Each structure stands twice: as structure tokens, then as C-alpha cells.
Amino acid sequence: MNRARHSGAARRWWYLVWSGVLLLALAAGCAVKKPQVPRTKFKISIPVADDRTLMSKVAGDRDYLKLDSTGRLNLNFTTEFGKNGRQEIGDRLSIKPNDADFSTAIGDIEIPGQQIPENRIPMSSLLPGVATGTVPLIRAAQIDQQVNIPLADIETIKIKEGSLSVTLRNGLPLTLANMRLTLVDLGKGGATVGLVDLGQLNTGSEKTGVFDLAGKDISGNLSIAVSGSTVEATDVAVSSSASLDVLGGLSDLIVTEAAALIPQQEFAASQSLGFPDDRIQVTSAVIRKAKLTFEVTNNIPLVIELDIALDDMKKPDGSANVFHIERLNQNEVVTAVFDLTDNNFAPINPLELRFSYAAKTIPSTTPVRIISGSVIGVKVITDTLAFSRVEGILNRLSLPIPSVDKELDFPDGLDNIALSSTSMQVFMTSAVGFRSTLNLDIAGTSKTGRQGQLNINAVIDRGDPDNPKSLILGPSSSELTTFLNVLPAQLTVNPNVLLGDNSGVEVIEPDHWVKLDSLKFIAPARLRISADSQIQTDPQRRVFNDATARERINSNLDSAAVETAIESHLPIGIHVSLLVGTTPDQVFTNPILRIPRQGGFGVNAAPVDAQGRVTQSLNSTQRITIGKEDALVFLRPGGVYTGILIELDQTAGGNDIDLLGTDFVDVKATAEIFMELNEDLVK
């Protein structure tokens, strides 16, 4: 704005006026009579505005407002990401398996079978008083004998599977009838465990009875009660070796509880550590660094030996990765740490890491009380598996890029301009061989505090790690125009690249990268004006320094007016007002004078061609009378600041308009002060 020349012109004009008044006074002083000053009026013109507002000037030095090749004004700005826009995969190529606790019971306990020592019941014990030799008659007699059969190395057992076989051999010269075997648990107060009827047993024969012990809770102190009777016989040859023999055997037992000598037991389990998500689905991988820690607790009342194997891992030399625990006492905790550096990981399930362990107990030398539910506990403390190479599938593996902020200095008063169309371009480079997605979370705040939020997703084609691929994306979004119509003065862009689309096996390494170069926002200045949109010119200082002249004008001012000459080269109607303030900041916020007081000097839209471009300017000259107090505002001591407010009319029917950089509004305004020339001016 050119304002400085106006105050100098005013001073020169006042110099001429007061010189004329002084000459009149001198001429009057030469007469003999008292001077008679003629009463007449004259006009003082004070320039108060002279401004041409070019649309290119409105854009000014704002790098986001540019003229295209046709001269149209465009909103065109770029957000650069700089060196932070390049992000390598790095440690993001990693998985931390879930920590887990496992327990494995020893399970059913196996107790080996044993033979029961042969028990001989002599005939003399069965039939006291019968002599050896030939006996003419031996009458029938009852048999009621008990034979102890203690189980070796067993105190008590709860049997799941097993049996006791008892054989009765008749070595008597008599037939036996109604023979019965009763298994009695002496350790349980003589409780009957089972009965077996053998019936008749001829001399020289034997029969076997089987006691099913499944579900029985017995001690190791057993006995067999043998009952029945002899059959009467004559002319019986009795020898001194005649006897009834009891013999048998205990089968291999499967027990759930025992207090006994426990032989070696073996048990094993296969487990897996799940991954927290499916972002990295490994077919095969090389681990750059990691470790797995196992804390094994023995809650079994036996010493155990244990091997832990990582089933999906191979050491760098191809051998299995196994940790051997030679001796683990009851209630002892042993820590096993696997170093996985350079291990090859080839899981059967891409979302799990499998491991297994096999244990065996050391045979006890003294009776041990044990149950099948006795367990070993295995706690796995996982570390992050950082890969140096992965062959597999990626599913939206996050690669965040640091956010950037940008400030846009939109011209004051243009808060209600609406952009009718917008577009965006994303410039980036991909050295990742996966089809991916770019997510842009954009937030903006206007000068007036209006906020906008925009989320845009764009598909990124596969890049090439060996030959990085430059890409230009043109994501479309129906919300982009709405967002930019906030006219954000503060803009924050949070980018995130989601690698992989859950399909296609590829290879990726930590030094592969993606680079987000810039975002470019483009909006041709085809605008839609809603309401209260305005352009404010830079305030200019107006100073009237002659105090004497100010006083004389104040006492002799007759009337005043402001005349404006407006030339509009805009394709839209405008209203122009002149505002006066005591400081530059108060011109548009707290003016002491507005001309006109209501509304503005209206000018219709300039004529346009078929493309909506102005063909010629439209001129308007308007004059308004102002009061004495308003006129004297321009003569205030210390000066005032004036500014021009150009209010843009709303576009008719929601139509859009084109703005060219050469479009302009030219405003000239002059304050005309009419004074009465009387004797006060020549005092």
C-alpha cells in the first residue's frame, strides 16, 4: 500500500491555503477602516485511501498460493518430510512370543509285577491226627487256612489297572470241594478285597483264581484265606509230603497313587508359544538375536532328568537346539537359557514356536509317596525374536514415519471461502517387496479455531529392495475438499506405512526401507463464497501535524463528505468500507470510525466471459456526507490509521468462480471538508 505520499501532499496543500489567507489578512491591514473579511466557503480535500488490491498481492509471499499457467490462483502447497521420511524396517522385523506357564504331570505310575512266594500247607495242618500210611477212612473235614502274601517294596497303592493271580495246587490224596479264595488286606484292618470260587479240586490238580485290582486301594500287606472241605475217602495212602500249595503272581500295575519304591518313570509333552498377532507370518527366518529362558520346577518327589528341545529351531550348524538338565531334585528350580543367535526358524505353524521336553525319573531307593498328578512346572520367559531375514507373509506390519507440522498464513477475512475441488499427490519411494498401505492421519486448525480431521489410505505397489521404486500416489477422498475448506493454518500429518496385505510369500530384511518424500495438496481457485468473506488491506498511517490549522478547521468547519471511486475487476459483487483506528491492530478489530457506518459501498460483479473470467472492470463512484466529529477524526493529534475492508458477496446459487492473479479492486477515497472563510481565519 502507498500511503506515505498522502501526508506530504496534504501539508503542501495546507501551506498554499494558509498563504492565501495570510495575503488576505495583510491586504485588509493596509486599509484605514477595520477590515471586513468576506464570508464565503472553500473546500479542503484530504486523501484517506488509495489502494489497489491485486489477488496476486493477497497471495503475497505465501508459497502455498500460486498462479498456474493460465493465471488462475491456486492453493498449492507441499509438506516435506525430509530425512525423517526414510524409515528402515530395522527392529520392527521382530516378534515377541507370548510368555507362558506350562505344567506336565508325571501321569499314571507303572509298578512292575512280582511273583508271590509259594506257600505250602501240610496235610497235617489241614487234618491233624491223620497218620501217614494207608488210612482206611478219612471223613470229610472243613478247610479254613490263611496264607500271607506281602507285596515287596509296596506300602500302599491305588490301582488303576492290574490283577493278582492265585493258584491252588491240590497235593493231597483227597478231593477238595467248594474251594474259595478270599483276598484280605491286613493293612486295611482285614478288609476283604475280593473273592474267587474255584469249586472242586481233584487230587493232583490245580486251579487259578484272578483278582481284578482295578480301582482298589490296597496296602502291601495282603493275605489269602483258603476255605472249602475235603471229600470223605477210604483206603487213603497218606505220605508225609502231602500238602495244599498256594502260589501266584502280581501283574504289572498302573497306579495313580503309591507309597512304594518307584522305578524309573518316563513322560513327555509338546507345547507351543503363540505369537500375539499375525503381522509377521514366518515360513522360514534367520534370527539375528534373541534368547528363550525356561524355568523348570520339579514338584515330583523324585529326582528327574530332563531334555528341552526347540522343535522349530536349528542351530547355525544345522543341529537340533536341545538343553539337557542332568539332575533336578524335588522342589528345585533350574533355569535353561537358549541363545538363538543365527538360529534358523522354520515353524510348522507360522504363528507359533514349538518346543517339547522329555523327562525320566531316577529310581528311588526308599519308598516314596507319589501321585499321578505330581507335575513339573515349565515357565517360559520370552525375548523378542529379532530377524535378520524373513521369508513369509506380512499383514499390515506398522512402519510409522515421524509426523510433520506445517503452518499456512491464510489471508485474514477469507474464512468462508470454499474450495470446490481438491486433489492430493503423495511422492514416495519403496524398497520393500510387499504390497502395502499408506495411512495418513491429518489434523488441521484454522485461524478461528475450526478443526478438521482427515484419514486417507492409499495402496502402495510392491517395491524392489535391489532397485527402489519411485511412486506417485493419487489417493482420492471425498473428505479432502471438506477438510481443506477448514483453511487450516496449522497442519499436522501423521503417516504410517502398513507393510503387506496378508498374501504372497516374499523376503524382507531389516535394511529394506520406505521413504515418504512429500505430500502435495492442490486446489484450483475455483471458489465458492459462503458469507462474511473479506479482504483486509494493510493499515496506513495518516498524520495531520499543523496544530494551528487543526484548531482553525475545528472552529470553522461547515460540512464534510467522503467520496469513493471503486474499480472492481472481480467476478463477484463486493462491498467496500473505510475503517479508521488509533493503532494498526485496532483498525479492523476496534475502529473509531467506519464509513459508511452500516454496510459498505456496493459494487456489482464485473462482466465475465464463458469461462467465468472478468472481461472488463466495473467502476463505481459514491459520495456520503459525514458529520463534523467524523471529519475531525482524520485530524486527530498523533495521526490515525486507515484500512480498507473489502467484503465479498456470497456466490449466487452455489456457483463457483475463478480468481486470476490479475484480478483486483482499486479504491480511492477522499475526505472533503468545507470551511467558512470568516474573520476567525485571519485572527
Compute the distance between CA of residue 27 and CA of residue 25 in angstroms, rounded to an integer.
Answer: 5
| Burial letters 367-382, b for 16+ CB under 10 A, else e | bbebbbebbbebbbeb
pLDDT above 70: residue 495:
yes
pLDDT digits (tens, 9 = 90+) for 421-475: 788 899 999 999 999 999 999 999 988 899 999 998 999 988 888 899 999 988 7
- Taking the mean position of all CA atoms in its chain, how far away is CA 14? 74
The whole-chain average pLDDT of the chain stands at 88
SS3 for 643?
strand
pLDDT, residue 31, reads 40
Tens of pLDDT along 367-410?
999 999 999 999 999 999 999 999 999 999 999 999 999 988 76
Gap between the Cα atoms of 71 and 478, Å rounded: 27
pLDDT number for residue 611: 76
- Mean of the pLDDT values across residues 103-108? 98
User: Using one digit for the tens of pLDDT, what is the confidence trace for 110-163?
Assistant: 999 999 999 999 999 999 989 999 999 999 999 999 999 999 999 999 999 999
At 612, the pLDDT band (50, 70, 90 cuts) reads confident
Amino acid in the structure at residue 4: A
Band of pLDDT at residue 64, cut at 50, 70 and 90 = low
> What is the structure's pLDDT at 11?
42
> Is pLDDT above 50 for 481?
yes
Predicted local confidence at residue 176, as pLDDT: 98
Q: Which of 50-64, 364-378, 607-621, 646-660 has the highest mean pLDDT?
A: 364-378
- Torsion of Cα atoms, 249 then 250 then 252 then 255, to 10°: 180
**Considering only CA atoms, which of 503, 677, 644 is closest in space to residue 2?**
644
Q: What is the DSSP letter of 608?
A: B
Q: Where are the alpha helices (DSSP H) in 557-640?
A: 628-633
Rounded CA separation 445/430 (Å): 31
Residue 622 C-alpha cell reads as: 459514491
| Topology at the third CATH level for domain 97-106+265-383 | Jelly Rolls (2.60.120)
Contact present, 603 and 573 (Cβ < 8 Å): yes
SS3 21: helix
6-28, pLDDT tens digit by residue?
Answer: 344 344 444 444 444 433 333 33
* Topology agreement, domain 97-106+265-383 and domain 109-255: yes
Q: Is 531 exposed, middle or buried (0-12, 13-18, 19+ CB in 10 A)?
A: exposed
Percentage of the chain exceeding pLDDT 90: 64
Q: Are 645 and 579 in contact (CB under 8 A)?
A: yes
Query: Three-class SS of residue 427?
Result: strand
In what side-by-side order are the strands of the sheet with 221-230?
142-150, 221-230, 176-185, 191-201
Question: Cα torsion for 314, 315, 320, 322, to the nearest 10°?
Answer: -120
Residue ranges covered by each domain of the chain: 4-61+531-682, 73-93+393-524, 97-106+265-383, 109-255
Interval 210-218 mean pLDDT: 98
pLDDT at position 2: 41
Fold exhibited by the domain 73-93+393-524: Jelly Rolls (2.60.120)
Q: How far apart are CA 526 and CA 420, in angstroms?
A: 6
Integer Rg of the chain from CA: 56
Please give the share of the chain, as a percent, with pLDDT higher than 70.
88
Q: How many CB atoms sit inside 10 A of residue 667's CB?
A: 24
Within 517-623, residue ranges assigned H as helices are 547-556
**Which CATH code for domain 109-255?**
2.60.120
Question: Smallest Cα–Cα separation from 438: which of 400, 412, 476?
Answer: 400
Q: For 384-416, b where at least 16 C-beta lie within 10 A, e where not — what string?
A: ebbbeebebbbbbbebebeebebebebbebbbb
Compute the residue count for the chain.
Answer: 683
Among 335-349, 572-586, 634-648, 665-679, the least confident range: 665-679
- Phi (first) and psi of residue 57, to 5 degrees: -70, -35
Q: What span, in angstroms and rounded, lies between the C-alpha atoms of 157 and 418?
A: 90
Q: Which of 292-306, 477-491, 538-552, 595-609 holds the top average pLDDT?
A: 292-306
- Cα separation, 346 vs 31, in Å, equals 124
Beta bridge partners of 648: 533, 574
Question: Whole-angstrom Cα distance, residue 425 to residue 431?
Answer: 19
Whether pLDDT at 524 is above 80: no
Q: How many CB atoms within 10 Å of residue 670?
A: 17
pLDDT tens digits along 281-328? 999 999 999 999 999 999 999 999 999 999 999 999 999 999 999 999
Taking residue 165's Cβ as centre, other Cβ atoms within 10 Å add up to 17
Model's pTM, two decimal places?
Answer: 0.68
- When pLDDT is averaged across residues 253-268 and rounded to a whole number, the result is 98
Q: Can you read off the three cell numbers belonging to residue 142?
A: 472243613
Paired with 642 in beta bridges are 540, 580
Q: Nine-digit cell at 422?
A: 481438491
Nearest alpha-carbon partner for 402 in 333, 497, 321, 477? 497
Tell me which of 159-173, 335-349, 638-652 is least confident.
Answer: 638-652
Which residues make Cβ contacts (< 8 Å) with residue 612, sequence separation at least 6? 571, 656, 657, 658
Q: Is 545 or 606 the better-scoring residue by pLDDT?
A: 606
Q: How confident is the model at residue 35 (pLDDT cuts 50, 70, 90)?
A: low
Query: For residue 438, which phi and psi values (nearest 5 degrees)?
Result: -100, 125
Contact 286, 344 (CB under 8 A): yes
Q: Is the per-residue pLDDT at 39 higher than 70?
A: no
E strands present in 261-414:
266-274, 280-289, 291-298, 304-314, 320-328, 333-339, 344-345, 352-361, 368-371, 375-382, 385-400, 404-407
Task: Specify whether the CB–CB gap between 424 and 456 falls below 8 A.
Answer: yes
For 224-233, 262-271, 300-309, 654-663, which range has the lowest pLDDT when averaged over its residues? 654-663
DSSP E strands, 202-279: 206-212, 217-219, 221-230, 233-238, 243-250, 253-260, 266-274
The pair phi, psi for residue 341, each rounded to 5°, is -55, 125
